[in-house]
Amino acid sequence: MTLDEQEQCDDSRDYRASRKRGGRLSEILNAIATDQTKARVSVSDIFQAMGDRAFGALLLIFALPNVFPTPPGTSAVLGAPLVFLSAQLMLGQAPWLPKIIADRSMTREDFGSIVTRISPWLARGERMLRPRAVFLVYPPMEYLIGFLCLFMAIILALPIPLGNILPALAICLFAFGILERDGFVVVAGFVLVGVSIAVVASVLVALVKGFIFLLTTSMG
């Protein structure tokens, strides 16, 4: 057995043990959404519920809702943690969130509506992915993933028309790759980062040209 095969076997055992201890990520989110003891769900509540799932789970939770229509104010709650978590992943630090972000919250009903939208996609991903090419999800590649996630998170936060979907999807792929130890999904994330940059650059060029055209027309 080669070293890479041994690593994949070890990851598979760790993966199954983690699933046994904490259950699927989709199940954890549904449990939070149906907890009748909470009127609101804070970022801190989600953070604590994830336990040792750390970066992969947290990046996925905060990025995936940006792919779908969400209640007003959701991006303000979920966008800022992406920047902090991506920067920490890039620097090799343990995940943490400042209190001003951790205390942000939304009603349990709004959180439940988000979970309802993303659960089918999340569950499908959990069934399809498995540990493969695991060297792509460990340092130093993990630091590169963090850098690209940070770049995508910044683009996602900018008020660019239709500029949030592809960056959010790219972060989701990286998060799935880290969470499930699937290097093939990480490669797909690299590809989508390139596509995202090309699309966003095209949109920005079109907006600048439109602005220049309106400016020259009004001056004429």
Residue 48 token pair? 């604590």
User: What pLDDT, on the 0 to 100 scale, is given for residue 54?
Assistant: 62
Distance CA 165, CA 173 (A): 12
Q: pLDDT in tens for each of the 220 residues of the chain?
A: 444 444 444 444 444 444 434 467 777 888 888 888 888 888 788 777 776 566 787 888 788 877 776 555 555 566 778 888 899 999 988 878 788 877 877 888 888 888 887 778 777 777 887 888 888 888 899 999 999 999 998 887 776 666 678 888 999 999 988 888 889 999 999 999 999 888 888 878 887 888 787 878 776 5
Residue keyed to tokens 């994330």: 189
Contact between 26 and 180 under an 8 Å Cβ cutoff? The reply is: no
User: What pLDDT, on the 0 to 100 scale, is given for residue 191?
Assistant: 95
Global model pTM greater than 0.85: no
